[in-house]
């Protein structure tokens, strides 16, 4: 069935009857909830009401299995009964399910780390203004119906651990949470985050989302410098200190991943750092280039440039080009110039920074337009 159909499908009818009987609401109200655009499944198939009910009965951890209920509004081992308003309960559970689908599930070998109580607050923030309150029990209920890994951390309290990516959850929590420090990089953004945000707005406006969403296959991008640097964390020297700070920044989404050495320099231009930290960057890059068989040299960010026509000096007209790039330390520039004038053709590149002029050199065998840098200590002067 869709909201435009006059006759509900058999599956909708069965779901509505089951939900009506379970929640004590009338059949028409149950069917109306299931026909809502918000409940149609924004990141996957519509969650079946019968599947939700079955989870409370049959799930290995939270299911009653013929006995007393093990899950209530406040969580497991709680005396809090379910409180259904008969108007939005199913819609809310469908949206919680979609929010949980956004995250990458943990694998069978990983122990869940994200607490249900923390996730329930994230759900409140993410699903606002559609819902301002999500109970701990409903978050656990949706996770169980979705088939996510769930563990009981202590066998005592009302909260459980849910098997979704801890880093992705931290990213979303900081993006939507009140008073949270927003992440500065997106490498832990869930694959379905943007799609779900947009689909929520469309569905809230009454639009039926007909296009499906498929979780993209993860793509492992080469990150040779990052891989090398994080392996240095345990060292008791400036490289180890830098590696530890860098790894923490990646873990906390405070900055992006430095797949190459020049990306590490770019990161240091974006965040506050001490002169000692910059020196450790140069030391680390120099060691990387000495130890790697084919290290990529440094190319810095452009900061300005100009090319204009020139009438020439009697032998014909030409062009003059001047381009500026940030120097490695960020306090000066690298200047690349080209005089393309007949009789006066000159091409030059230079480091216009005393500090970087002493610490860096141009890699041999490369043209002016293809210049690249390496620390001077990689190939010290004889």
pLDDT in tens, 12-42: 899 999 999 999 999 999 999 999 999 999 9
Alpha-carbon span 165 to 156, nearest angstrom: 24
Taking the CA atoms of residue 370, residue 375, residue 378 and residue 382 in that order, the dihedral angle to the nearest 10 degrees is 90
Alpha-carbon span 160 to 76, nearest angstrom: 8
Q: Where are the domains of the chain?
A: 10-204, 224-291, 302-378
Instruction: List the chain pLDDT tens, one digit each, 382 residues.
Output: 444 455 678 888 999 999 999 999 999 999 999 999 999 999 999 999 999 999 999 999 999 887 888 899 999 988 889 999 999 999 999 999 999 999 999 987 889 999 999 999 999 999 999 999 999 999 999 999 999 999 998 888 899 999 999 999 999 999 999 888 999 999 999 999 999 999 999 999 999 888 888 888 888 888 999 999 999 999 999 999 999 999 999 999 999 999 999 999 999 888 877 888 899 999 999 999 998 888 889 999 999 988 777 655 555 667 788 899 999 999 999 999 888 777 666 788 999 999 999 999 999 999 999 999 999 987 655 4
Rg (CA), the chain: 29
Cβ within 8 Å of residue 242, ≥6 positions away? 229, 232, 277, 280, 281, 283, 284
For residue range 107-162, list pLDDT tens digits in order.
Answer: 878 899 999 999 999 999 999 999 999 999 999 999 999 999 999 988 888 999 99
Alpha-carbon span 217 to 341, nearest angstrom: 52
**Closest alpha carbon to 33 in 53, 14, 12:** 12
Position 325 scores a pLDDT of 95
Alpha-carbon span 95 to 146, nearest angstrom: 12
Position 344 scores a pLDDT of 61
Alpha-carbon span 173 to 329, nearest angstrom: 34
Position 86 scores a pLDDT of 93
Cβ within 8 Å of residue 60, ≥6 positions away? none
Position 272 scores a pLDDT of 78
């Amino acid at each position: 069935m869709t909201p435009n159909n006059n006759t509900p499908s058999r599956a909708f009818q069965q779901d509505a009857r089951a939900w009506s009987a379970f929640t004590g609401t009338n059949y028409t109200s149950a069917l109306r909830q299931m026909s809502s655009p918000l409940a149609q499944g924004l990141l996957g198939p519509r969650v079946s009401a019968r599947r939700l009910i079955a989870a409370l009965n049959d799930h290995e951890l939270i299911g009653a299995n013929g006995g007393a209920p093990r899950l209530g509004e406040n969580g497991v081992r709680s005396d809090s009964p379910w409180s259904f308003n008969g108007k939005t309960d199913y819609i809310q559970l469908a949206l919680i399910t979609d929010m949980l689908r956004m995250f990458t599930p943990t694998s069978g070998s990983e122990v869940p780390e994200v607490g249900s109580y923390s996730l329930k607050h994230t759900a409140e923030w993410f699903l606002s203004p559609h819902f301002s309150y999500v109970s701990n029990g409903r978050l656990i209920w949706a996770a169980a119906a979705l088939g996510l890994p769930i563990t009981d951390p202590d066998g005592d309290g009302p909260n459980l651990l849910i098997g979704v990516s801890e880093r992705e959850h931290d990213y979303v929590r900081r993006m939507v949470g009140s008073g949270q420090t927003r992440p500065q990089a997106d490498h832990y953004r869930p694959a379905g985050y943007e799609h779900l945000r947009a689909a929520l707005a469309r569905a809230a406006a009454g639009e039926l989302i007909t296009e499906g969403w498929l979780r993209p296959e993860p793509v492992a991008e080469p990150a040779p410098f990052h891989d090398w640097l994080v392996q240095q964390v345990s060292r008791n020297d400036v490289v180890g200190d830098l590696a530890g700070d860098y790894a923490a920044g990646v873990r906390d989404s405070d900055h992006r991943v430095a797949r190459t050495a020049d990306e590490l320099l770019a990161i240091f231009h974006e965040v506050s750092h001490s002169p000692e930290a910059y020196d450790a960057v140069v030391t680390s890059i120099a060691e990387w280039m000495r130890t790697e068989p084919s290290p990529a040299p440094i190319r810095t960010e452009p900061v300005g440039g100009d090319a204009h026509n020139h009438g020439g000096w009697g032998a014909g007209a030409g062009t003059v080009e001047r381009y500026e790039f940030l120097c490695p330390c960020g306090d000066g520039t690298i200047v690349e110039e080209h005089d393309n004038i007949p009789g006066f053709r000159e091409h030059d590149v230079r480091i216009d920074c005393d500090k970087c002029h002493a610490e860096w050199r141009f890699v041999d065998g490369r043209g002016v337009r293809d210049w690249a840098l390496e620390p001077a200590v990689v190939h010290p002067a004889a």
